[in-house]
Each structure stands twice: as structure tokens, then as C-alpha cells.
Chains A and B, each alone.
Chain A
């Protein structure tokens, strides 16, 4: 720099743009950069490798290599000369799998449950695939057609030749999915309405929303379920008292809605006032302003939290066993004490299977949400 001493400086030759220096490339470079960049990181890396080496092989050994995959009773899973240390007793799960899925749903009618699963999967796929055609129709299908169809299918419609199946016979994955889906599908719209009501300028609306949200949020789900299933019948005459499962569904839906309302409210608070003003200045009514301008932005901001709430709700569905409903975990619980399968590893296998089921569902939701987040982030920087 010739101008260092002050005075006039004029560049005579332009400086060409150079590629960045090539320092460390390839696998070794990556390892150095990411795993061994400092002494502390190197120690951590070695520690993690040691931990994996210590934990993973025995797990694989137990759940896969030493596992018993077939058999008709407990003898298959007991220690024997051929198998001195038997692993997971998957044979038990195979034998009980229909009970885990359908509960006591009549065997002849189980195709209806399968059809329900298929219809639900179809709807989820339609909505989850962002590039799918006519996603507006998909939403109509999911929020209007599917609930009616599911009700007719599962509960029965004698007019259509579908025999009534009382909810007392429902169980297993069917109940878990029904409770979670109803909770999720109901909580989002109700939660949004509650969040809007809570931010409303109208005092009555606001106070009612605050009271509802704070009350429901302030008690555990178990309490809500107890109230729904024990207290509700006290106030309502017997013949009008809804079904046990319906009561639990209402409880779960209310609980999830109150939580969802708070999550959505957080997103609404993040929207700058200018967005409201711009929408209002264009003549958009309150509902259109929210539907077209505010909520699309607010829900995007809160997507991770919304999915988090869905995941929490999915796991919380296990609590319905408290009011005597046979959800998936309860069926595993009931099956594992079956004397035909009484072995030291039956319970472990049952619980492992349950954990696997919940993990797959929740991890799937989580991955999907991550995926949508990155896609949205990318789309709006175009």
C-alpha cells in the first residue's frame, strides 16, 4: 500500500479474483476438519467411538443375531443347548401382532381397519408430498371426507352393511392412531382459533380464550382424561353420555388444542405490525388478513414447535390406558404376561417393539418437518 503514509492513492492495475486456497481436501481433510480439529475434539471423538463400540454390538447381537424369529410358544425363546443365551423373542411379537394392531376388533371385520389405515396413509401422503397435484382437494379429503369415512368404517354403518363394532373392542395401534390423529387434526384448527381469540380486541372473546387455555394447560393430561371420563357422566344423563373412547378423544383434543394455541400465539407474536397494517390497508377483512397474510407466516415460523407438539401428543396417547382404553402400549402390556410366552425376555422384547413403533412414527414426523423447513427456507430466498 503506497498510500500508507496518507495522501492520494490510485489503483493502477485491478486485482484479479482468485480461487480460495486449497488447504486440506479429501477424506483425511474432512476428518481433520470435523473430528480432530483440536485436542478437545479429538478426545471427544475417541470417546464417542469407544462408546459406540461398547453399546452397539451387544444390542445388534441381542435384537438381531441371537434373536428368535419363529416359534409357537415360550419354548422357542427359552435357553437351550443350541441357544444358550437367546436374544429378543420376536416370535412372541409375530404371534401377537394382530392383537397389537387391532385389539379385540372382530377378526372378520379387520379388513375395515386395514382400509382405514390405507385411507389415512393416502391422505397423509397427499398432504405431505409438497409437489402433489390438487393439494386443496387433498385437504378437503383429509379434513372432511376422511373423518366421515373413518367413522363409518370403524364404528360401523348397518345401512351400508357394515356391522356395528363397539369401541370397547377397538385396541392396539388402531386406537393409538385414532387418538393421535383426532388429537392432531382437531388441535391445529382449534388451537389457531384459540390463539386468534386470545389476541382479539374483543374483551369477552379474549377472556374466554385465556381462561380455557390457562385452565387446560395448567392441569396434566391425565387429569383432563379423568375429568372427561369420570366427571362428564356425572353432569350428563346416562343415555346422552358419550362413549368411553369419544370422551377420551374429546379430552385429548381439548388438551392438545390448548397447547397448540400457545404455540401458534408465539408465531403470531413474531409477525411485525407492518404486515397487519399492509393487509388492512389493502382492504382485507380480519379473517382474510389472517388466512392469507398472517397465519401462513406465523405457522411457518412455528412449524418446528407445531411438530414438536404433535410428537408429544403422539406419545401422550399412551395415557388413555388410565381410563381403560386399550391403546398399543396397553396391548403389549397385556400380552407380555401371557403364560404361554412367559420367558425372561418376553417383556424386554415387547417393550423394545413398542419403543421401535413410537420411535419410527415420531422420528418420521421429525424428519418430515425438517425437510419442509429447509424447503420453505430455500423457496423464499429464490
Chain B
């Protein structure tokens, strides 16, 4: 079932994300070096690699939470420039889930989910609430709708964050280490939600160390180190026969 058709958004053609010759520096530090990547519509990509390798930075360039000094990023056919209109247009269509959830603590779970549909998409409050309840049911916490985030466990908060992003009916979802801040017993509930989502055909880019998840849902795995894309491969091949030395070393350490 195509959720996007539900929301009345006509699927565009062309790649979901196109990154061409991207370079980024933090002061003197060359954080992203010549990144070239094309993500097809509906593709599920897991980005992994040692910490400090630029995974999150790359992900955050896709909705321009980070800016860059050289190169181009084109999302959903819209090129990200300094123009705030372009940036907002991209952000409306790109959902993001953060490592630390970043729910709004002063709003209830339901209000967290309806805020952007009401104020960015100018949706009537009733419709927004209906949609929010539908997504909260999908992430299996409709009964928490009237609570404030502080009352929820980490896993529940992260599922709310996923529902909040889905309420904008995005074409692309970005996950920035969504399970890294969770207690071990809560990782599974969040991963299950993401696996389910992957079945919907939405474009997903996931920065994660969860190799089981990567094996299960990823179409391609991108291995990054030192601000560069070192290896791109299908999961089966990547786990069985990593090509690059860095990838081999990394997998040895992770899959012990």
C-alpha cells in the first residue's frame, strides 16, 4: 500500500536524494570529503562505520541541519541552497528521528505529533489529530496520547518521535542513531517499528550500529570512515566479504 498516495502527494520521479561532490569542514577539520551518493526512491540505506567518521554529519546535510562549503545536495528534485524557502520545502518532505528523541517536553504526545501538520501544512486541528492517532496506533502507543513525554520510557519516546515525523507524511525518513541512547531492552521495540516502516516503501536512510537491522532491511550498506564513503555494498556481500580493509576491521570489532 502506498501511504503517499493516501496523503495526496504525487510521487515524483528521479532519485530521492542526490549528493554530488560534497565537502564539509568544521574549522580546519575536513569532516566530509567528496561524498557522491544517489539514493533511489523507496531505497533503504544503512550508514555505518566508526564514530567520528561523518555518518551523522552526512545525514544532517540532507535536511540542511548542517551546511557545507562545497558540492550539491538535491532532495526530491529540490536543490538545497541558502534560500530558506527551498530548505523549508525539503524539510516538510523529509522526516527525521534523532538519537535523543528531541520531543517537545511542554507538549503532550498528541500535540507533539500535530504541531507541524497544523502550523506547517495548515491542516485543521481535527484532521491533524486523527492522523496523529492513526500513526500513534501504528507505533503501538495510542493510549499515551494525552501524556507528556517525560512520563514515557525511552523506547516509547522514540516511537512517538517516529510517529511525529510520519505525521508530516514524508517521502524520506532520516534516522540518526535512533537506538543508541536506549536501554538494551527497549532497542527491539524501536527496531520493530522501523522494520515495519521499511515494509511501506518509504525511502529510509539510517545511521546505525544495529547490524542485525541492517542485514534485515537494508538494500545497500554504506560504510564511512574519516569523512569518506569507503564502501557501498549489498548487505549480504558486505557482511560476508567486506572489500575494504577499514570495513573488515570494523566488522571484526562489531560482530565479535
Interface flags, B80-110, vs A, CB<8A=1, else 0 = 0000100010011011101010111110000
- Say yes or no: B98 contacts A277, CB within 8 Å: yes
In the complex, which residue of chain A has the Cβ closest to the Cβ of B116?
A282
Question: Told that A292-B115, A296-B106, A381-B148 touch, could you supply 15 new A-B pairs with CB distance under 8 A?
Answer: A274-B98, A275-B104, A277-B65, A277-B98, A277-B102, A278-B103, A280-B65, A280-B91, A283-B88, A285-B84, A285-B88, A286-B84, A380-B105, A381-B150, A381-B151
Q: Which residues of B contact A168 (CB under 8 A)?
A: none
Taking the nearest CB of chain A, how far is it from the CB of B29, in angstroms?
A: 19
Task: Select the residue from B84, B91, B102, B103 with max chain A CB neighbours within 10 A.
Answer: B102
CA distance A382 to B148 in the complex (A): 6
Q: Which residues of B contact A288 (CB under 8 A)?
A: 119-120
- Say yes or no: B91 contacts A281, CB within 8 Å: yes
CA distance A281 to B98 in the complex (A): 10
- Say yes or no: A282 contacts B91, CB within 8 Å: yes
User: Would you call B138 an interface residue if the criterion is a C-beta within 8 Å of the partner chain's C-beta atoms?
Assistant: no
User: Would you call A300 an interface residue if the criterion is a C-beta within 8 Å of the partner chain's C-beta atoms?
Assistant: yes
User: Would you call B63 an interface residue if the criterion is a C-beta within 8 Å of the partner chain's C-beta atoms?
Assistant: yes
User: Would you call B147 an interface residue if the criterion is a C-beta within 8 Å of the partner chain's C-beta atoms?
Assistant: yes
CA distance A282 to B103 in the complex (A): 12
CA distance A283 to B88 in the complex (A): 5
Between-chain CB contacts (< 8 Å), 7 pairs:
A277-B96, A278-B103, A281-B98, A283-B88, A283-B120, A286-B84, A381-B148
Q: Which residues of B contact A272 (CB under 8 A)?
A: 102
Taking the nearest CB of chain A, how far is it from the CB of B100, in angstroms?
A: 6
Taking the nearest CB of chain B, how far is it from the CB of A164, in angstroms?
A: 45
Q: Which residues of A contact B247 (CB under 8 A)?
A: none
User: Would you call B222 an interface residue if the criterion is a C-beta within 8 Å of the partner chain's C-beta atoms?
Assistant: no
Number of chain B residues close to chain A: CB under 8 A = 27
User: Would you call B73 an interface residue if the criterion is a C-beta within 8 Å of the partner chain's C-beta atoms?
Assistant: no
Q: Which residues of B contact A381 (CB under 8 A)?
A: 148, 150-151
Q: Which residues of B contact A280 (CB under 8 A)?
A: 65, 91
Instruction: Mark B residues whose CB is within 8 Å of A.
Output: 63, 65, 84, 88, 91-92, 94-96, 98, 100, 102-106, 115-116, 119-120, 147-148, 150-151, 164-165, 168
In the complex, which residue of chain B has the Cβ closest to the Cβ of A288?
B119
- Say yes or no: B106 contacts A282, CB within 8 Å: no
- Say yes or no: B119 contacts A274, CB within 8 Å: no
User: Would you call A284 an interface residue if the criterion is a C-beta within 8 Å of the partner chain's C-beta atoms?
Assistant: yes
Q: Which of A281, A293, A380 contacts B96 (CB 8 A)?
A: A281
Instruction: Mark A residues whose CB is within 8 Å of B.
Output: 272, 274-275, 277-286, 288, 292-293, 296-297, 300, 379-382
CA distance A297 to B112 in the complex (A): 14
Q: Which residues of A contact B92 (CB under 8 A)?
A: 283
Query: Given A278-B98, A380-B150, A381-B148, is A293 in contact with B120 using a C-beta cutoff of 8 Å?
Result: no
Query: Given A283-B120, A284-B119, is A278 in contact with B151 using a C-beta cutoff of 8 Å?
Result: no
Taking the nearest CB of chain B, how far is it from the CB of A173, in angstroms?
A: 37
- Say yes or no: B119 contacts A281, CB within 8 Å: no
Q: Which residues of A contact B103 (CB under 8 A)?
A: 278
Q: Which residues of A contact B116 (CB under 8 A)?
A: 282-284
Query: Given A380-B150, A382-B147, is A281 in contact with B120 using a C-beta cutoff of 8 Å?
Result: no
Task: Select the residue from A275, A281, A288, A382 with max chain B CB neighbours within 10 A.
Answer: A281
In the complex, which residue of chain B has the Cβ closest to the Cβ of A289?
B119
The 8 A-B pairs with the shortest beta carbon distances in the complex, nearest first, are: A278-B102, A282-B116, A274-B102, A283-B91, A281-B96, A283-B92, A283-B120, A380-B148
Query: Given A275-B104, A381-B148, A381-B150, is A282 in contact with B115 using a C-beta cutoff of 8 Å?
Result: yes
Q: Which residues of B contact A297 (CB under 8 A)?
A: 104-106
- Say yes or no: A275 contacts B148, CB within 8 Å: no
In the complex, which residue of chain B has the Cβ closest to the Cβ of A291?
B119
- Say yes or no: B104 contacts A281, CB within 8 Å: no
Taking the nearest CB of chain B, how far is it from the CB of A51, in angstroms?
A: 43
Taking the nearest CB of chain A, how far is it from the CB of B113, in angstroms?
A: 10
CA distance A272 to B103 in the complex (A): 11
In the complex, which residue of chain B has the Cβ closest to the Cβ of A293?
B104
CA distance A286 to B87 in the complex (A): 12
Query: Given A274-B98, A275-B102, A277-B65, is A282 in contact with B151 using a C-beta cutoff of 8 Å?
Result: no
In the complex, which residue of chain B has the Cβ closest to the Cβ of A281?
B96
Q: Which residues of A contact B150 (CB under 8 A)?
A: 380-381
In the complex, which residue of chain A has the Cβ closest to the Cβ of B146?
A382
Q: Which residues of B contact A300 (CB under 8 A)?
A: 106
CA distance A284 to B102 in the complex (A): 15
CA distance A380 to B105 in the complex (A): 8
CA distance A296 to B104 in the complex (A): 10
Q: Which of B84, B100, B105, B168 contacts A282 (CB 8 A)?
A: B168
Q: Which residues of A contact B88 (CB under 8 A)?
A: 283, 285
Q: Which residues of A contact B168 (CB under 8 A)?
A: 282-283
CA distance A282 to B166 in the complex (A): 10
Query: Given A283-B120, A284-B120, A285-B88, is A278 in contact with B148 using a C-beta cutoff of 8 Å?
Result: no
Q: Which residues of A contact B151 (CB under 8 A)?
A: 381-382
CA distance A278 to B112 in the complex (A): 11
Q: Which residues of B contact A380 (CB under 8 A)?
A: 105-106, 148, 150
Taking the nearest CB of chain A, how far is it from the CB of B60, in angstroms?
A: 8
In the complex, which residue of chain A has the Cβ closest to the Cβ of B104?
A293
Taking the nearest CB of chain B, how far is it from the CB of A282, in angstroms?
A: 4
Q: Which residues of B contact A379 (CB under 8 A)?
A: 148
Q: Which residues of B contact A279 (CB under 8 A)?
A: 104
Q: Which of B63, B147, B148 contacts A281 (CB 8 A)?
A: B63
CA distance A300 to B100 in the complex (A): 22
Q: Which residues of A contact B104 (CB under 8 A)?
A: 275, 278-279, 293, 297
